[in-house]
A and B are shown apart, each in its own frame.
Chain A
Amino acid sequence: QVQLQESGPGLVKPSQTLSLTCTVSGGAVGSGAYYWSWIRQPPGKGLEWIGYIFYNGATYYTPSLKSRVTISLDKSKNQFSLKLTSMTAADTAVYYCARVATTVVDDLYYFDYWGQGTLVTVSS
């Protein structure tokens, strides 16, 4: 059974950098079969995809956050991480990590396993 668990600070000051880690169990982040993603959800609002990383380190980010986001992989710890710089109140959200599976035939991506989420509040 694949499990993902986010960890990191629950409170970040404006202008600081957010660092979150997702620890994966039941599957290897370096296996090459999946992508690994971050998604966020502001309180009471919908879901926003942030980006994902492949086992070879290739990354893909949503354009609106691309200048501030870095997703990285640590195969030795079976983890992947998110860094988001220049945090503002608009970045207050529950941050989820998720595994991205793909269909064999048409390379369709879907989020099949999710972490429980971690609330990050930006406030001084």
Chain B
Amino acid sequence: DIQMTQSPSSLSASVGDRVTITCRASQNIDSYLNWYQQKPGKAPKLLIYATFNLQSGVPSRFSASRSETDFTLTISSLQPEDFATYYCQQSYSSPLTFGGGTKVEIK
């Protein structure tokens, strides 16, 4: 199975901050990487698919990038509604696997 390792596992930030979350794959997954946002008690919501592509309706302050097996999700200016847990997920090979999550908390 491909292991997805997210860092940090949690972070504290203020409204307006630039936030970066990293996801590392245990092997090459090309650009087969998606990002989700999950708020407490709610289902995950798709933010970005295929490494770079913003899902319809997702604000442009969210962006993502890739460097080989390292993937980054960036929130350019953190908003109050962005406090949540973020998960990466690979679909390069079965079984589909998720990262352990990064919880973004209010400083």
A residues lining the B interface (CB < 8 Å):
46-49, 60, 62-64, 96, 98, 101, 103, 106, 108-112, 114-117
Contacts and interface: CB of A to CB of B under 8 A. Distances in A.
B15 interface: no
Contact of B96 (A49, A106, A114, A116): A49
Contact of A110 (B30, B42, B49): B49
B94 A116 contact: no
Contacts of B99: 46
Given A106-B50, A110-B49, A111-B44, 15 more contacts: A46-B87, A46-B99, A47-B44, A47-B89, A48-B98, A49-B96, A49-B97, A49-B98, A103-B49, A103-B50, A106-B30, A108-B34, A111-B34, A114-B44, A117-B43
Interface string B85-107: 00101010011111111000000
A85 to B, nearest CB: 19
A46 B100 contact: yes
9 contacts: A47-B87, A62-B94, A63-B95, A103-B50, A109-B96, A110-B50, A110-B89, A112-B49, A114-B43
A47 B98 contact: yes
B43 A109 contact: no
A115 to B, nearest CB: 6
B34 A106 contact: no
Contacts, number: 62
Contact of B43 (A49, A62, A108, A115): A115
Contact of B101 (A46, A108, A117): A46
Interface string B34-47: 10100000111110
Contact of B55 (A96, A108, A109, A112): A112
Contacts of A47: 36, 44, 87, 89, 98, 101
Contacts of A115: 43
A111 B87 CA distance: 12
